Amino acid sequence: MKRLEGVKKFILDILFPIECVGCGRGGKYICEKCSTFLGEASLICPVCQKPSFSGQRHNYCPLRYHLDGLVGVWEYEGMVRRLLHEIKYGKVRNAISELVELSFKAITKDEARFASFFSFLFSEKPIITFVPMHDKKEWRRGFNQSKLIAGEISKITNLEVMSLLEKVKRTESQAKLDKAERFKNIEGVFNIRKDQNKIPEKLVLIDDIWTTGATMKECCKVLKKAGVKKVWGFTLARTV
Least confidently predicted of 29-43, 76-90, 119-133? 76-90
Contact 112, 62 (CB under 8 A): no
pLDDT, residue 176, reads: 73
**10 or 36: which leads in pLDDT:** 36
pLDDT, residue 4, reads: 56
Distances (CA, A) of 96 to 53, 76, 153, 183, 191: 27, 15, 10, 27, 26
Q: What is the dihedral of CA 209, 157, 97, 176, to 10 degrees?
A: -10
Average of per-residue pLDDT across 104-133:
95
- Domains of the chain: which residue ranges? 35-238
Contacts of 228 (CB under 8 A, 6+ apart): 199, 200, 201, 202, 203
- Cβ atoms < 10 Å from Cβ of 135: 12
**33 or 173: which leads in pLDDT:** 33
Q: Tell me, yes or no, if the pTM score tops 0.75.
A: yes
* Rounded Cα gap, residues 237 and 209, in angstroms: 5
Query: H or E element: which one contains 134?
Result: none
Sheet holding 202-210, edge to edge: 69-75, 230-238, 202-210, 127-130
Backbone angles phi, psi at 77, to 5 degrees: -160, 170
pLDDT at 77 over 60: yes
Average of per-residue pLDDT across 196-218:
95
Contacts of 202 (CB under 8 A, 6+ apart): 120, 124, 125, 126, 127, 228, 229, 230, 231
Average of per-residue pLDDT across 138-152:
92
Q: How far is CA 115 from the centre of its chain?
A: 19
3-state secondary structure of 150: helix
Least confidently predicted of 77-91, 104-118, 149-163, 194-208? 77-91
91 phi-psi bin (left φ>0, alpha ψ -120 to 50, beta other): left
- Cβ atoms < 10 Å from Cβ of 128: 22
pLDDT, residue 8, reads: 53
pLDDT, residue 10, reads: 53
